[in-house]
Structure 1
Amino acid sequence: MMKKLLMLVVLICPMISSAQIIYETVSSAKLKETREIKIQLPRNYEENKEKYYPVVMVLDGDYLFEPVAGIVDYYSYWEDIPEMIVVGINQFESRNKDVNYDNQRFLPSEKGAEFFEFLGMELLKSVDQKYRTAPFQIIVGHDLTANFLNYYLLKPEQIFEGYVNLSPDLAPEMAKRITNALSRSENKKWYYLATGSDDISQLKENILALDNQLIGLDNDLVSYTFNNFDNASHYSLVGRAIPVAIESMFEVYSPISQKEYNEVLLQTSVSPTEYLIEKYESIYNLYGIEKRIRLNDFLAIHQAIEKTRRWDEYEELSKLANDHFPKTMLSTYFEARYHEETGNPKKAMKAYQNSYGQEKIAFLDVDFMLEKANAIKRDFGY
């Protein structure tokens, strides 16, 4: 386990150094004091003036910020998740007061109530005003702070879409409140819960009981993921849970997987091109992110069409490729394949020839396209 964690650190540290880390002192009217926060901005944030980013709010920022920020930067580099703004709140000296709840209603009280309002009403608002944020927010916490983040789930108005609970130290009534809130939710939510085989016994018992309730959750708007990691302690489970939690919230965003390709795109009842369009519409609707269709996703659709021989799909795919990769050979190639397989070899030959002067992309270059044109010319004697 230690070797795996060290390898993860080796992989992540260079990624963190490439992202922009800002350290700030924030004055709070609610807390009547200042708080230290850390902010990781995405790579090339300043250059991408038109781009907006989801926000990850990390409680226990003094030790959770770096692993979360590293995972976000690493996974977004490979486009498995979107680039995000990560905000960490240091709580080393104030943690117990920040998460305080009363012993009658088991709701935030005294400093806990002030901290609750500081996060929801001051800090998030400040981040939204200062940075280009998309309307998708995740909150992360560990044991006491993991319990605390669930109080936002109980509010009528939605503040966070994603909740990452790392071995939460659940308050009395909290499991029932979480289950009721998720079952009644009228907005899309992602809920992640984790424990480990060597977790603190009392915490683990309550977490497993909560999982038992959430397994039967009947609400299509809630995506629930649970992990009980083998050979993981209360602290080591954090390193294993963070990437799983973040990935689980961006399953739709990630590139077309081998599973999607085999189980969806190769089914003749599914239009591969429509599936691609709907995937990127879902990315916008769920995460508020306008994203250009990935080249690899175009190529996955291309391969699916070749396998299923649904040649008519190429006509719409060519138009889509022209929108997302203009001036390249991608749209021209799809157009040529459409004509080639639907009985118009002369139009296919001309389309291949028209690629001359366009930018090469993926496996498509001038030699490849002209050879395709010459092959049709030889076969049909044009």
Structure 2
Amino acid sequence: MSQKLVVVFFILFSVSTSFGQQINIGIRDTVHSDILEDDRPLSIYLPPSYHYKPDQHYPVLYILDGDYNFRYVAGLLELQGGISENIPEMILVGISGKGSTTYKKNCKPTIPGVKDGGNADEVLSFIEQELMPYIEKHYKSLGFNVLAGHSVGGIFIVNAALKRPELFNKYIAISPALWWEENAMNKVAKETYTTKDSLNTEVYVSLANEKRMGVKEFLEVAGPEFKFRKFERENHNSVGAPTYKWALRDIFKEWKIEKPYFESAEELEKYISKNASAFDIPLPIAEAVLYNSVVYVLKDQPEELAKIKDLVSANYPNSEAFLASLFAANAIRDKNYDEAEAILKESLEEHPGSFELYEKLAEVHLKKEQIQTAQEEINKAIRLAEDQKLRLWRIEELRDLENKIEAEVSKS
């Protein structure tokens, strides 16, 4: 290689390392298992609001073979939860498979008369006694847990649901390899239903355009708790994404608000009551629905808005600052800038770490042509947003307001 080529290569490498920044979708963690006598790596996805809502807790989706499936499932949770609010935001815990040999052994239970058995029951004990307590201690788990696995991992899911249905709130078996050992899991199902009338849970089972997976035969001996859907246009490797979308949206169907807004405080109250009966956990509210309700539908109904505020404070305290920013937005629209400022400052007394409140204050003072104050407030909003690890698109929204304020500075 010539000296000239070496110099060019060095320059290109320096540029790529200087300007190329890694975009992370999760964090890596490890839990030690005395049961398995091993360390088990974990991939953890935290939802968009995780760091700027310090008191908010979240449902947790645990997936097997996390090294393989983590990225696409994290993206799906971001879309369905954080962006579209079809489901509540969730934490994702991807359990490392530690290579195919270990993974296959971990997914298969020991069944009398079956040669190709594994240590699935031991791994389930690890999940119950070591992994889940670790997640609950170190992450903001809400106590609503879903367990999912694909293919061989689906054997693990079916085995866990049959033997320990109470351990998880719901189970998802994606294209499970129930042909294993001549449909050995059918025997486990038959034995289970001789002592139980119901599993008191739900197991979502899917198939793609594949044959001889043993699912049809298994469903003939399983109970109605096993909910099945076939995705004819998918193959074995692509069926995971539509399965998660179907299963999670069905699991949280009572959480999903039918209309994109509330027409009255009474509608919100009924929604709260419905959720209380469907879930024994305090799920957050979809803030896009609050936005539509306050800014568009009820904007000129102060009595209804006052009732909405009371209901949110009592049931969704982690959305109080957001709601205050919406009330301020209404006041800004009506050019009631002093009222907007008062609303925001009052809320900041309770929520001093809210970037949303400082963002709106900056907007108020920009409207009032108090440019220096607006600069200070948008800078504060951006610092908080960065510290609270907001998604990049949201920080760019703050910077857009910063640019508008700077443009006013340049005029003066």
Both proteins in one fold, TM over 0.5: yes
CA displacement, residues 268-309 of structure 1 (integer Å, 9 cap, x when unaligned): xxx96444223234445616235356463575699999xxxx
Instruction: Determine the structure 2 residue equivalent to 1:61.
Output: 66
Shift in Å, 1:353 = 12
- Partner residue of 2:212 out of 199, 202, 209: 202
- Identify unmatched segments of 5+ residues in structure 2: 1-21, 179-184, 313-322, 344-412
Q: Does 1:83 align with 2:75?
A: no
Using the TM superposition, give the Cα deviation of residue 357 of structure 1 relative to its aligned residue in structure 2, in angstroms: 2.4
Distance 2:58 2:167 in 1: 16
TM-score, normalised via structure 2 length: 0.60
- In structure 1, what is the equivalent of residue 241 of structure 2? 239
Partner secondary structure for residue 47 of structure 1: coil
Written as runs of structure 1 = structure 2, the 5 A alignment for 1:133-144 is 133-144=141-152
Asked if 1:124 is matched to 2:126, the reply is: no
Q: Percent identity?
A: 23
2:322 matched to 1:320? no
Indicate yes or no: 2:223 matched with 1:191: no
Distance in structure 2 (CA, Å) of the matches to 1:213 and 1:275: 43
Q: For 1:164-218, what per-residue CA distance to the aligned partner results, in whole angstroms no more than 9, with x for missing partners? A: 11011232335546878996245xx443111022x1x221xx323455677x83x
Cα offset for 1:87? 0.7
Q: State how far apart, in whole Å, the 2-side matches of 1:319 and 1:185 are.
A: 41
Q: Say whether 1:49 aligns with 2:54.
A: yes
CA distance in 2, matches of 1:181, 1:43: 44
**CA distance in structure 2 between the partners assigned to 1:234 and 1:182 by the alignment:** 32
Equivalence for 2:402: none
The question of whether the paired residues in 1 share the 8 Å contact of 2:294 and 2:326 is answered with no
Q: What is aligned with 2:108? A: 100
Judging by fraction of residues, say which structure has more strand: 1
Q: Distance in 1 between matches of 2:51 and 2:281?
A: 20
Deviation at 1:116, TM superposition (A): 1.6
**Alignment TM-score, normalising by the size of structure 1:** 0.64
Amino acid at match of 2:203: Y
Contact 2:151 2:176 in 1 (8 A): yes
Decide whether aligned partners of structure 1 residues 230 and 60 sit closer, same or farther in structure 2, where only a CA change above 3 A counts.
same
* Counterpart residue number, 1:277: 269
Q: Quick one: distance in 2 between partners of 1:105 and 1:119?
A: 26
Among 269, 284, 303, the alignment partner of 1:291 is 284
C-alpha change, 1:104 and 1:301, in structure 2 (3 Å) is: farther
**Structure 2 CA distance for partners of 1:327 and 1:55, relative to 1, 3 Å:** closer
Q: 1:85 to 1:137 in 2, by over 3 A?
A: same
Larger fraction in helix = 2
Aligned to 2:187: 173
Counterpart contact for 1:273–1:301, Cα < 8 Å = no
Q: Is the 8 A contact 2:205 2:227 kept in 1?
A: yes
The root-mean-square deviation of aligned C-alpha atoms, in Å, is 4.2
The alignment status of 1:228 with 2:230, answered yes or no, reads: yes
Task: Give the Cα–Cα distance (whole angstroms) in 2 for the partners of residues 103 and 228 of structure 1.
Answer: 28
8 Å CA contact 2:110, 2:120 repeated in 1:
no
Match of 1:380 in 2: none
Supply the distance in 2 between the matched residues of 1:75 and 1:182 (Cα, whole angstroms): 35
**Secondary structure of residue in 2 paired with 1:34:** strand
Cα distance in 2, alignment partners of residues 293 and 44 from structure 1? 12
Instruction: Determine the C-alpha separation between the residues in 1 that align with 2:109 and 2:134.
Output: 25
Secondary structure at the counterpart of residue 234 of structure 2: strand
Q: Is the 8 A contact 1:53 1:289 kept in 2?
A: no
Q: C-alpha deviations, 1:236-285, integer Å up to 9, x for none?
A: 22232222222222222224347xx9xxx9xxxxx964442232344456
Task: State which drifts further: 65-74 or 248-257.
Answer: 248-257
Give the counterpart letter for 1:246 in structure 2.
L
CA 1:177–1:72 in 2, change beyond 3 Å: closer, same or farther? farther
